[in-house]
Chains A and B, each alone.
Chain A
Amino acid sequence: MALSVDMIRDCLDGAVPAVLATCASDGTPNVTCVSQVHFVDGAHVALSFQFFNKTRENLLANSRATVMVAHPETAARYRMALQYLRTEAEGPLFESMKARLAGIASHAGMSGIFRLLGSDLYRVIEIERVPGTELPVSAPRRNLLPALRTCLERLSQCTDLAGVLEELLASLAGAFDITHAMVLMLDARGECLRTAASRGYDASGLGAEILLGQGMIGIAAQQRTPIRITHASPEYAGGCAGTPEMMIPFPGLPDAGSRLALPVIGGGLLLGVLYVESPEDLRFGYDDEDALVAVAAQLGMAIRALGDAVGDRAQ
């Protein structure tokens, strides 16, 4: 069976640095470590472009590249034959890679040195499993599909927005074992996200505000893309700083190791952000992100369906 990127995406969380080989137009090879290989879809990845270097020069002259990645638990390695397509220096892909890189940089003691200049998008031509043995994978912390089912069933029984938010946070804790979570709603002017519900914090922080585009929560909303950070990163700490006139402190963990912000969209409209975090590094992987994207989508539809004032704002 041919491998696709989704089948090996646990190798793309950066625990084991990836290596990238390119060739100059005269055929001279070049090989270098690369901070980030980002899953785009089953046939595409994006690599972090951080420095103007030989790799850059080679790619512009010869679009073929080969990257090797390793699974952080099994030690299995894969070689991906790639074709460089283009570089994105703004937008959802760029912002989500930039936030992730900030976490990687901080973890590596490279804050201020690792800086994303662009997201290099590649088509994956072929994936080869490097022959060899591998270690067993440990049991997952939770089976995410039953957790998702439980959560969505509970949300579908709710009759008002308050109930939806309460059930959401309860099932994140109960079914997903995610004990620090909050929902922020976009205000009527579409400029500010306000904490509407939270769970797992000393102070609820209800009413605490974040501007659209500010911190990882504000960027996730503005770009309408999930942002996932796998290591503590001061640049994105607390998800944000509040608005200058903010009276209510943001309730987030001061030193979260893992953070995930997901835009809540219903009927095509941005409604808010679902934000979860954990003191642990590497707590949320690609599968957790997918499951919570589905939860956020259901939340968005529930908000619209229940015709709450927040949903009416967008009318």
Chain B
Amino acid sequence: MEQTAYRWYILFPNHQQGLRLNRELKEMGIKNQIAPTPRAASSCCGISLIVEPDDLDKIRLIIEHIGVTIEKVVKLPVKTDWQYRGI
């Protein structure tokens, strides 16, 4: 049986918080990707950060240490059958 792959998104109350964490993680060499927040994660628009699950504990400590405010961490299944869809 095929295993479902997941992606972890960190959501923020505003983009300043997201950009700050993005910068901090980059400086520390921790992989993260700016992405538009998927609808399945929130009904509001804006940036989120995709991070690796293995880094989550480390990232939580960093968030606490530098005082970045996050809204939540959301785990969503990765769509492997995505077909081009115009906007």
The answer to whether A and B belong to the same complex is: no
Chain A residues within CB distance 8 Å of chain B: none
Chain B residues within CB distance 8 Å of chain A: none
